[in-house]
Amino acid sequence: MTLLAWCVAWLLDVIIGDPQRWPHPVRWIGNLINALQRVIRRYCHSDSALRIGGGAMWLVVVGMTWAVAWGVLALARTIHPWLGWAVEVWMIFTVLAGRCLARAAQDVERPLRAGALAESREKLSWIVGRDTSQLQPEQINRAVVETVAENTVDGIIAPLFFLLLGGAPLAMAYKAVNTLDSMVGYKHEKYRAIGMVSARLDDVANYIPARLSWLLLSVAAFLCRNDGSRALRTGWRDRYNHSSPNCAWAEATVAGALGIRLGGPNDYFGQRVEKPWIGDALRPIAVDDISRTIRLMWVASTLALALFIVARWLAVGAA
């Protein structure tokens, strides 16, 4: 039943993604984070106080998310096993973001192909933190490829990994960790103190999934008839060419698979951030690389699901 729930939830994400009008736990988690932020900023003013407040916020948000998920799932199973199964499927479905990620990338790709640069920049601004107002087509392509590669980890592989470790409640708790990082885990002055704990613990949570993404995306490159061996080599060589200890693993692997260069300087919150280059520019990056990266994401996520199902089956069989 548990493995069937995993597969059904994954298929639901592939087929329908996250309909905007549906209730979604991440929105509730985001509302909780915003409410706690306001309280913390009202009483904490120094950097040290904000760091402590940010740590307390992390504990409350992640702990409450796990506890509520566990309680709702336990209650549903008590009422009826099939209700519990349906709730489990729903929870897993909500922590996966493959279809949403693909749709967001395609929303940028379509106007870019049509020459509607202003619309493409606007759609890109919805999914990246960098300033998009002056980006040229090559820079837009690079930003989308980087976003899809990076979010393959925290949108699909990591939730499945924590699902393996602790079921739907732990996967939900991971989603809270990731949401905290996406909302307050910035090096910008406004969030540097209050988001320090969230940023650091998100790095910890993604440590193993990011490294798994190197292997999974490399195998995906072979299966997609990209350069799998170069993906493996470049993923390892450039794995630390990023300020984050995790982001470059997936980005470098995709760059190697496609023979393109990612990274480089970007503007964030009006500040120029110099980043090292990732990969080798064997050819100019093109708009088709967006769809190629989406394909790599889907194949890698399928491999991750299969890997974790086998791991779960072996663990249950050995118990």
**What pLDDT tens digit does each residue of the chain (319 aa) get?**
688 999 999 999 999 887 777 778 889 999 999 999 999 999 988 999 999 999 999 999 999 999 999 999 999 999 999 999 999 999 999 999 999 999 999 999 999 999 999 999 999 999 887 888 888 999 999 999 999 999 999 999 999 999 999 999 999 999 999 999 999 987 777 888 999 999 999 999 999 999 999 999 999 999 999 999 999 999 999 999 988 899 999 999 999 999 999 988 776 656 666 788 999 999 999 999 999 999 999 999 999 999 999 999 888 777 6
Pairing of strands 266-268, 261-263: unpaired
Give the per-residue pLDDT at 1. 63
E-state strands within 33-183? none
Give the per-residue pLDDT at 269. 57
For residues 6 and 305, the answer to whether their CB atoms sit within 8 Å is: yes
Helical ranges in 185-287 per DSSP H:
196-205, 207-223, 228-237, 247-258
How far, in Å, CA of 260 to CA of 34, rounded? 38
What are the C-alpha distances in Å from 253 to residues 40, 206, 266?
40, 16, 21
Phi/psi of residue 177, nearest 5 degrees: -60, -45
* 32 CB neighbour count, 10 Å cutoff: 18
How far, in Å, CA of 227 to CA of 258, rounded? 7
Phi/psi of residue 266, nearest 5 degrees: -145, 160
For residues 120 and 112, the answer to whether their CB atoms sit within 8 Å is: yes
DSSP 188: S
How far, in Å, CA of 146 to CA of 192, rounded? 23
In 3D space, the residue among 134, 128, 89 whose CA is nearest the CA of residue 108 turns out to be: 128
The domain locations on the chain are: 2-318
Could you tell me how many residues make up the chain?
319
Query: Chain-centre distance of CA 87, in angstroms?
Result: 23
How far, in Å, CA of 240 to CA of 236, rounded? 9
What are the C-alpha distances in Å from 292 to residues 19, 47, 217, 299?
24, 43, 12, 11
Place of tokens 């698979």: 257
Strand-pair partners of 268: 130, 271
For residues 231 and 221, the answer to whether their CB atoms sit within 8 Å is: yes
For residues 234 and 256, the answer to whether their CB atoms sit within 8 Å is: yes
Q: Give the distance between the most distant pair of CA atoms in the chain.
A: 59
Amino acid at 298: W
How far, in Å, CA of 135 to CA of 119, rounded? 12
